[in-house]
Amino acid sequence: MAKVQTFLNEQIKAGHSVAKVHIMGMVLGAALTRAMREELITMNVARLTTFPPAPSRKNKPWTADEARAFLTAARTEPLYPAFVLLMVYGLRRGEVLGLGWDELDLDELSMSVCWQLQRIDGKLTRTPVKTDAGDRGLPVLPIIYEGFIELAERQMFAQRRAGDSWLETGLVFTTRNGGPIEPRNLSRAFERISERANLRRIRLHDLRHLTATLLKKLGVPPRDAAAILGHAKISTTLEIYTDSDMEDHRKGLAKLAKELFGEADE
């Protein structure tokens, strides 16, 4: 065992990634397991070795300024309302692309998030959201109300132009002929706009973390944030809410200093 552990430690010291050394360990373990089955050895020492934890690759969400810069850059894009839903409401990509006109009540200024667009057996399919928490009602804010009206007008024009080739899917976000939008294309549009605005590269899914972080900073209770985001477990929301940055540390220590010394030491 000591020889195997020493070998793996040396690989890490030599500059190989933890993930690569994990693979080495798995290959070695599989070989030794086969040797045990053939009764060549009595113990698989690879199972007794330890590995350092893989480094965390948690992406830092955009700041409010970065989010505003993106929305400004995306304002003239046809998919601008989709980005508002992703960033302001924290909807998932599939939930945005699976949203139907039947789920909108623009008179009552409300919408239901109960469907998602997924690729199943190679075909884009609209399926129910996975959890009861994901099936949620949300208010339609003025900024997205205007976007929905613009989308409806644009879709009516596209339908008249397409004629018999129009695909009636009932979706809010469609291709030029009415079909569902490929989820990867929404991600590509996000990446293109981000690059054009010279913004720090993050994943489209990281916008949900941005929404949760901003809700936290604005003092929205975790349970309300969980309902907005459609988290099945409030622990998922609390994990984000317990994330802190240097500004959070600064404010917290300033409050402590004020309590002890009567004034904040900025």
76 shares a domain with 24: no
Q: What is the pLDDT of residue 177?
A: 94
Partnered with residue 138 across adjacent β-strands are 111
> Is 228 a member of any domain?
yes
> Is 244 a member of any domain?
no
User: d(Cα 81, Cα 150) in Å, to the nearest integer?
Assistant: 9
Q: What is the pLDDT of residue 248?
A: 67
Show the domain range for 33: 2-48
H/E run at residue 106: none
Q: What is the pLDDT of residue 50?
A: 75
> Is 56 a member of any domain?
no
| SS3 assignment, position 97 | helix
Q: 73 φ, ψ to 5°?
A: -70, -30
122 shares a domain with 19: no
User: d(Cα 76, Cα 158) in Å, to the nearest integer?
Assistant: 17
> Is 217 a member of any domain?
yes
13 shares a domain with 132: no
Give me the CATH number covering residue 127: 1.10.443.10
186 shares a domain with 151: yes
User: d(Cα 75, Cα 59) in Å, to the nearest integer?
Assistant: 25
pLDDT in tens, the chain (266 residues): 677 788 878 877 777 777 777 788 888 888 888 888 888 888 887 777 776 665 555 568 898 999 999 999 999 999 999 999 999 999 999 999 999 999 999 999 999 999 999 998 889 999 999 888 788 999 999 989 999 999 999 999 999 999 999 999 999 999 999 999 999 999 999 999 999 999 999 999 999 999 998 898 888 888 898 999 998 888 878 877 766 666 766 776 687 767 777 765 54
Q: What is the pLDDT of residue 123?
A: 92
> Is 263 a member of any domain?
no
Q: What is the pLDDT of residue 7?
A: 81
Strands 104-105 and 136-139: unpaired
215 shares a domain with 105: yes
> Is 55 a member of any domain?
no
To the question of pTM greater than 0.95 for the whole model, the response is: no
70 shares a domain with 27: no
Q: What is the pLDDT of residue 56?
A: 53
**Quick check: 124 and 180 in contact, CB under 8 A?**
yes
138 shares a domain with 94: yes
Q: Is 199 exposed, middle or buried (0-12, 13-18, 19+ CB in 10 A)?
A: middle
88 shares a domain with 38: no
> Is 176 a member of any domain?
yes
Q: What is the pLDDT of residue 139?
A: 94
226 shares a domain with 106: yes
174 shares a domain with 98: yes
191 shares a domain with 82: yes
Structurally, how many domains does the chain consist of? 2
